[in-house]
A and B are shown apart, each in its own frame.
Chain A
Amino acid sequence: MTVTDESRSRAVSARLRGVHKSYGQARVLDIPWLEIHAGEVTGVVGENGAGKSTLIGTLSGNVNPDGGEIEIGDMLLSLGSTESAGRLGVALVSQEFPLVGQLSVAENMLLGRRPRGSKRRVLVDRRAQRAEAAAMMEEIGLSPAEIQVTREVRSLPVPTRQMLEIAKAWGREPTLLILDEPTSSLGPVEAQMVLGLARSLADRGGTVLFIGHRLDEVRAVSDRILVLRNGSLVADLNPEDATEERLVREMVGSEFTRSEPKAKLIEERVLFRAEGLTADGLGPVDIELRAGEVLGVAGLMGSGRSRLIHTVAGAQPATGGRMQLDGQNYSPHGPADGAAAGIALIPEDRKQQSLVLFAPIRSNVTVSILRRLSSHGILTTKSERAAAKDITANVHVRMQSVDQPIGSLSGGNQQRAIFGRAFASEPTLLLLDEPTRGVDVGAKAEIYELIDRAAKQGMAVLVASSELEELLWICHRIAVMNHGRVVDVVDREDATKERIMTAAAGTGSRLLETSATAELSTAERASRTEL
């Protein structure tokens, strides 16, 4: 990788001068000078709240900065106008705003504009639309023969949609293409494809601003890495200099220490056992969890990771097989049975599946133990508050009072509160689905410590995650899933990324299969019913 003076002298696609933005007292963005070059992938990293989204918002016109100038190409951006940004060629691919599910691929590709060279102004020119959509897909290496342009987008799995979103943005021939955490909903193989795509777009002269949340990805793809902290640009690094330690240090602002690797597991008592467990899209699966053990579940999108967790929790009905929990037969008919048997589930989507955001912290953390708190069926605010204080203190939630809405806490603090709630019900088996999604680097380490603590207290922990490093870090063993089955179980000592990836990828990518979407919606539904 050559990031030399030569590439730095390439054309400037975007130039920021004195751009700053404050909300009240808090200065969320302050960039005196920044140039983004054509033909490069410029990586941007920073903790949550470091100003990444404000930067993106400012460039794409969604956020109106308090001052400064932005040039896109050679034109001055009219600040705070999405229209102006669109006209100057800023294209944003964001995780938050996917395509219109009900419309066809072709219509999504050309959403909001007409096919080039089409003479019809009012009537839809379907033939031209389809032809251009197909060309746009081919341009980034998607095959229109396999993903038909007439297909409804919602019938496609999430990774494919993400690719289409990029094709759509790229087809507008953007001056500046912003990819906002494009891999956060993807498994490792699909993520690799998106990274490859970003790389090739830059190699063809495009300008890519890559906002990443996985440092290894950003390092792999970028020609230059910017680090944001508290709204300021604190580092501008070559990939050679940007070691993971360095990046984390710049992001956090101090040396980042990880806890000691875990001691070898000695306990032999099996707390949870599943034999031939099957469910819709799952199994048969055999697993065993010993007391104090953290078992990771790795796999691509749609491999059955979440299904396994949900089936064990009782949120998805099992269709066959047997489960044993602490020596007792366990066959849940719903999440309530799971909870009663001593299982606590921390689902992947905090806002949708775990919390009532506008309700106070105390009501959120005590829901799992209301019966214990109530005397003769009556719950007093006093006892609730006292219990909430214990629970939050136990997991070190940083807050002003237990009466503030839980939505006002940071993501990491919310997640800690959820762990507190789970611990309060004193579970035998703790189920975690993407326990660190959407929390920043510092908070991640604290969540790993909580998981560690749960194991040390003798719980069995089953944790599904799309982040391999995370699993390698926290687990005693890792079960790798593919097509709903456990294809490999790796001990901590033998676990390597390569081995897990190979097992997970199995027979190759599965972009055309809809099981990933189906899984998401099943999981969603399951957890909604649970709430």
Chain B
Amino acid sequence: METQTIAPARQVAPKSRFTMADVLRKLAASPEAGVVTACVFVFVCIGLAAPTYTHTGNLQVMGRDLAQIGILAIGEALVILTGGIDLSVGALAGLAGILAAWFNVREGLPGPVAIVVTLLICGAVGLWHGAMVTRLKVAPFVITLVTFTVAQGLALAITTGTPINDISSLFSRVSSFQIGAIPLPAVIFVGTALIAWFVLERTYVGRQLYAVGGNTEAARLAGIPVARRTTLAYVASAMLAGVVGVLVIGRMNVADPSVGGSGWELTAIAAAVVGGAALTGGEGRILGIAAGAILLELISNGLLALRVSPYDQQIVQGGVLGIAILADRLRARRFGRESR
């Protein structure tokens, strides 16, 4: 039997001639477009309403804040891509700050060494998460919740609740260093995003991460080392949490267990989801996720600039998030595929 062409001859939109409408439509159909547009919209609106918002000083503040939730969000997104979730990142960032300070001040390790040791410990925590999830099939939610609790407790136990002072000036130098007018932490965030983008889009390991999250069984049958890829995501997430922890104590110039990054994991998850990551895995791109983090920061800082009462801020934040997600779903229904 001869093989025959199976699909019917049917012209699919010719490649060469793009009209403006096509381009717009294509943009609208991509999940990233909405959140990027929202960033611009929010920035312009608040900027017009509150002039201090766009001042260099405030932009630098936003840059430093962004480093925190943005880096956490990227790590979180890697885990979400595999279909998991990492609830420990906030608490782990808090603990990492305490550990770095403790190694530096109490154990007398030089700053750089303290940082490296801290990051290695975070990496080990990630490895533990990965092993539990891939070998013992523990639900990611559960195992990272355990770490969340233990990490918060450890931060308090190590310090007995009192802040660690006199940390190496290296910490604050890193956090306050500026390249031109741009704070170093913001640069670290952009660097992290670029690396994550490159790995996810351009390397086999990154593409395999999408496959693992999108269809684990298909990935396994195709010979992709599913357990290794999944574990990699948890390790990256935990180490990025470590980086954030180090940046935070540098910014405060003190390691305070009560700062402890509480609630940051939820912000990180929200940023990833607003940016187009699907909690079911396999979906979401770094551009959108970075934009999601930027959007959240623009909003929370904007509320300060607009002098919204601190008592009302959370309501407004939640409301704006709700609207963003609603708008995105409407867009998806109008232009794109519905499944997410």
Least Cβ–Cβ distance between A9 and chain B, in angstroms? 23
Assess whether B310 is interfacial by the CB under 8 Å rule. no
Please give, as numbers and ranges, the residues of chain A lying within 8 Å of B214 by CB-CB distance. Answer: 100-103
Assess whether B56 is interfacial by the CB under 8 Å rule. no
Please give, as numbers and ranges, the residues of chain A lying within 8 Å of B65 by CB-CB distance. Answer: none
Cα–Cα distance between A143 and B210 once the two chains are bound (Å) = 26
Mostly, the B contact residues are: loop
Knowing A102-B214, A103-B207, A122-B205 are in contact, say whether A196-B7 is a contact too (CB < 8 A): no
Assess whether A32 is interfacial by the CB under 8 Å rule. no
Please give, as numbers and ranges, the residues of chain A lying within 8 Å of B219 by CB-CB distance. Answer: 100, 111-112
Q: What is the 8 Å Cβ interface bit string for chain B, positions 257-271, against chain A (1 contact, 0 not)?
A: 000000000000000
Knowing A163-B6, A512-B7 are in contact, say whether A96-B217 is a contact too (CB < 8 A): yes
Q: Which of A260-268, A298-306, A503-511 contacts B (4 or more CB under 8 A)?
A: A503-511
Q: What is the 8 Å Cβ interface bit string for chain A, positions 97-130, against chain B (1 contact, 0 not)?
A: 1111111000110011110000000111000000
Least Cβ–Cβ distance between B222 and chain A, in angstroms? 3
Least Cβ–Cβ distance between B240 and chain A, in angstroms? 21
Asked if A123 and B202 sit within 8 Å, CB to CB, the answer is: yes
In the complex, the chain B residue whose C-beta lies closest to that of A104 is B207
Asked if B6 and A97 sit within 8 Å, CB to CB, the answer is: no
Asked if B339 and A103 sit within 8 Å, CB to CB, the answer is: no
Assess whether A270 is interfacial by the CB under 8 Å rule. no
Q: What is the 8 Å Cβ interface bit string for chain A, positions 257-298, against chain B (1 contact, 0 not)?
A: 000000000000000000000000000000000000000000
In the complex, the chain A residue whose C-beta lies closest to that of B338 is A521
- A111 CB contact (under 8 Å) in B4, B12, B211, B282: B211
Asked if B204 and A124 sit within 8 Å, CB to CB, the answer is: yes
Q: For residues 281 through 331 of chain B, which have their beta carbon under 8 Å from a beta carbon of chain A?
A: 282-283
Assess whether B218 is interfacial by the CB under 8 Å rule. yes
Asked if B6 and A193 sit within 8 Å, CB to CB, the answer is: yes
Asked if B3 and A111 sit within 8 Å, CB to CB, the answer is: no
Asked if B223 and A97 sit within 8 Å, CB to CB, the answer is: no
Cα–Cα distance between A72 and B32 once the two chains are bound (Å) = 48
Cα–Cα distance between A163 and B203 once the two chains are bound (Å) = 27
In the complex, the chain B residue whose C-beta lies closest to that of A142 is B6
For A, the interface residue count at a CB cutoff of 8 angstroms equals: 45
Please give, as numbers and ranges, the residues of chain A lying within 8 Å of B22 by CB-CB distance. Answer: none
Asked if A141 and B205 sit within 8 Å, CB to CB, the answer is: no
Please give, as numbers and ranges, the residues of chain B lying within 8 Å of A521 by CB-CB distance. Answer: 338-339
- B210 CB contact (under 8 Å) in A98, A102, A113: A102
Please give, as numbers and ranges, the residues of chain A lying within 8 Å of B223 by CB-CB distance. Answer: 82-83, 86, 112-113
Asked if B210 and A122 sit within 8 Å, CB to CB, the answer is: no
Cα–Cα distance between A160 and B12 once the two chains are bound (Å) = 16
Asked if A143 and B6 sit within 8 Å, CB to CB, the answer is: yes
Asked if A154 and B1 sit within 8 Å, CB to CB, the answer is: no
Assess whether A197 is interfacial by the CB under 8 Å rule. yes
Asked if A82 and B221 sit within 8 Å, CB to CB, the answer is: yes
In the complex, the chain A residue whose C-beta lies closest to that of B220 is A82
Knowing A97-B215, A111-B211, A143-B7 are in contact, say whether A199-B203 is a contact too (CB < 8 A): no
Cα–Cα distance between A459 and B28 once the two chains are bound (Å) = 50
Assess whether B8 is interfacial by the CB under 8 Å rule. yes
Knowing A122-B205, A124-B203, A155-B337 are in contact, say whether A103-B211 is a contact too (CB < 8 A): yes
Asked if A512 and B338 sit within 8 Å, CB to CB, the answer is: no
Q: What is the 8 Å Cβ interface bit string for chain A, positions 177-198, against chain B (1 contact, 0 not)?
A: 0000000000000000100110
In the complex, the chain B residue whose C-beta lies closest to that of A508 is B8
- B5 CB contact (under 8 Å) in A86, A96, A143, A148: A143
Asked if B207 and A107 sit within 8 Å, CB to CB, the answer is: yes
Q: For residues 21 through 56 of chain A, which have their beta carbon under 8 Å from a beta carbon of chain B?
A: none
Cα–Cα distance between A98 and B202 once the two chains are bound (Å) = 24
7 closest Cβ contacts across the A-B interface? A112-B222, A141-B3, A111-B222, A100-B214, A146-B7, A97-B217, A112-B223
Q: Which residues of A are at the interface with B, using a C-beta cutoff of 8 A?
A: 82-83, 86, 92, 94, 96-103, 107-108, 111-114, 122-124, 140-143, 146-148, 154-155, 160, 163, 193, 196-197, 199-200, 203, 508-512, 521
